[in-house]
């Protein structure tokens, strides 16, 4: 039986996600709210898109809290199977205390679900009338990533990669790679792709290395400790650069960025192929635009504001403004 699903993605990437769902899976949709998309009449046999569309963060089904649990239990089971969540489902209930106890008892008895408010996979929201599979459930797609507090959410990385338009064999560089989220998400869509991941912080590099080894990607992504302003990478050798730059809040500072960004931009200009393309995420927008304006040979072709976790950074799509090595007249 077809089902209606509500999916979420990072605010700002809705149009990209909707376009991909229509083109690649024939799924029609409409925007409900920022970051929230309604998919109507999705065949239950065709839920594979949930695990392959990495820009999706959560999926929910409409749920009538007054109805018998079994109907929603069956749909949630199929959704959980399609994203690789193992039974028994761990759940929590969002409701006033007295209602919450009743709902917990019903779903524990009828469905054999386990009440796990701090480690849930399914959130039953009584007020909103939805049963939602949350981001914890999505870890099943990747295995659990070793992360640091500044790590970029997977759904955001997926949107950045979508803007980067990587070709199957492109070499992708992340010069501020952290725990290598960009390289790992990219590897799902591009089984023949290659990557370079660099970060100044040795703890991040250790975690990145482990994350890559855990997924058998160590042969495809070269990871090293290094400085984004002095990369051990040949001139004009990198097809795509995708990175989440230090915003100057949790990592670095605004005054650091005034020094750092122009040097990183010059280095990116040096390593980028003539037809190369970059997607650079930052919340330090003025400093970024100033740095880019002062970088010969690069230009911003698109700015996409994104919203997640209380920040509103922009993803800047940057290309060459002229062939490398030629002086401006």
Ligand X SMILES: C[S@@+](CC[C@H](N)C(=O)[O-])C[C@H]1O[C@@H](n2cnc3c(N)ncnc32)[C@H](O)[C@@H]1O
Tokens of 295: 């970088």
Q: Does 246 bind ligand X (CB under 6 A)?
A: yes
- Pick between residue 246 and residue 297 the one whose CB is nearest to ligand X: 246
**Which range binds ligand X by CB under 6 A, 4-12, 200-208, 291-299, 315-323?**
200-208
**Looking at the DSSP assignment, which residues form a beta bridge with residue 174?**
197
Q: Which residues contact 140 (CB under 8 A, 6 or more apart)?
A: 83, 84, 85, 86
Closest CA to 201 of 237, 243, 252, 236: 252
Tell me the DSSP string of 78-112. Answer: HHHHHTTPPSSPEEEEES-HHHHHHHHHHHHHHH-
Site for ligand X in 36-65 (CB under 6 A): none
Element (H, E) at 128: none
Using CB under 6 A, count the residues that bind ligand X: 24
**Which range binds ligand X by CB under 6 A, 8-16, 135-143, 245-253, 317-325?**
245-253
Q: Does 223 bind ligand X (CB under 6 A)?
A: no
CA geometry: angle 231, 237, 238, nearest 5 deg: 75
Least Å from the CB of residue 178 to ligand X? 2
- Pick between residue 125 and residue 290 the one whose CB is nearest to ligand X: 290
CA torsion through residues 31, 37, 38, 42, sign: positive
Tell me the DSSP string of 238-289. Answer: EEEEEEE---SSSSS-HHHHHHHHHHHHHHHHHHEEEEEEEEEEES-HHHHH
Tokens of 283: 């919340």
**Which range binds ligand X by CB under 6 A, 21-29, 61-69, 118-126, 227-235?**
227-235
- Specify whether the CB–CB gap between 132 and 58 falls below 8 A: yes
Q: Does 228 bind ligand X (CB under 6 A)?
A: yes
User: How far is CA 221 from its chain centroid?
Assistant: 18
Binding mask 88-117 for ligand X (x = CB under 6 A): ------------------------------
Q: Does 304 bind ligand X (CB under 6 A)?
A: no
Residue 216 φ/ψ region, left for φ over 0, alpha for ψ in the -120 to 50 degree band, beta for the rest: left
- Pick between residue 196 and residue 260 the one whose CB is nearest to ligand X: 260
- Pick between residue 37 and residue 179 the one whose CB is nearest to ligand X: 179
Binding mask 164-183 for ligand X (x = CB under 6 A): -----------xxxxx-xx-
- Pick between residue 20 and residue 244 the one whose CB is nearest to ligand X: 244
- Out of 140, 150, 188, 258, the only residue in the binding site for ligand X (CB under 6 A) is 150
Binding mask 263-302 for ligand X (x = CB under 6 A): ----------------------------------------
CA distance 92 to 103: 10
- Out of 229, 237, 273, 321, the only residue in the binding site for ligand X (CB under 6 A) is 229
Least Å from the CB of residue 235 to ligand X? 19
Least Å from the CB of residue 325 to ligand X? 25
Closest CA to 180 of 191, 170, 188: 188
Radius of gyration (Cα) for the chain, nearest Å?
22
Least Å from the CB of residue 140 to ligand X? 19
- Out of 14, 20, 239, 244, the only residue in the binding site for ligand X (CB under 6 A) is 244
CA distance 163 to 178: 20
What is the bridge-based pairing of β-strands 130-133 and 58-62?
antiparallel
Q: Does 204 bind ligand X (CB under 6 A)?
A: yes
Binding site for ligand X (CB under 6 A): 148, 150-152, 175-179, 181-182, 198-201, 204, 227-229, 244, 246, 251-252, 260
């Amino acid at each position: 039986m077809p089902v209606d699903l509500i999916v979420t993605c990072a605010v700002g990437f809705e149009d990209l996600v909707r376009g991909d769902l229509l083109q690649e899976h024939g799924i029609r949709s409409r925007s409900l709210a920022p970051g929230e998309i309604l998919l109507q009449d999705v065949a239950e046999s065709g839920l594979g898109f949930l695990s392959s569309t990495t820009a999706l963060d959560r999926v929910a089904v409409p749920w009538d809290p007054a109805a018998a649990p079994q109907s929603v239990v069956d749909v949630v089971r199929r959704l959980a199977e399609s994203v690789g969540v193992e039974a028994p489902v761990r759940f929590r209930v969002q409701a006033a205390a007295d209602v919450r106890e009743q709902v917990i008892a019903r779903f524990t008895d009828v469905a054999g679900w386990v009440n796990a408010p701090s480690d849930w996979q399914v959130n039953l929201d009584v007020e909103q009338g939805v049963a939602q599979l949350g981001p914890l459930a999505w870890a099943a797609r990747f295995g659990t990533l070793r992360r640091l507090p500044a790590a970029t959410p997977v759904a955001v990385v997926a949107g950045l990669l979508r803007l980067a338009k990587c070709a199957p064999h492109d070499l992708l560089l992340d010069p501020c790679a952290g725990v290598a989220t960009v390289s790992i998400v990219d590897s799902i869509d591009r089984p023949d792709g290659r990557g370079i991941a660099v970060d100044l912080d040795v703890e991040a590099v250790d975690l990145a290395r482990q994350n890559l080894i855990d997924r058998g990607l160590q042969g495809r992504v070269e990871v090293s400790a290094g400085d984004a302003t002095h990369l051990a990478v040949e001139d004009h050798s990198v097809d795509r650069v995708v990175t989440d730059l230090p915003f100057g809040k949790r990592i670095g500072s605004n005054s650091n960025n005034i020094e750092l960004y122009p040097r990183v931009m010059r280095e990116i200009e040096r390593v980028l192929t003539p037809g190369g393309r970059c997607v650079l995420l930052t919340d330090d927008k003025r400093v970024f635009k100033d740095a880019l304006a002062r970088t010969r040979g690069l230009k911003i072709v698109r700015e996409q504001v994104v919203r997640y976790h209380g920040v509103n950074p922009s993803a800047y799509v940057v290309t060459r403004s002229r062939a490398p090595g030629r002086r401006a007249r």
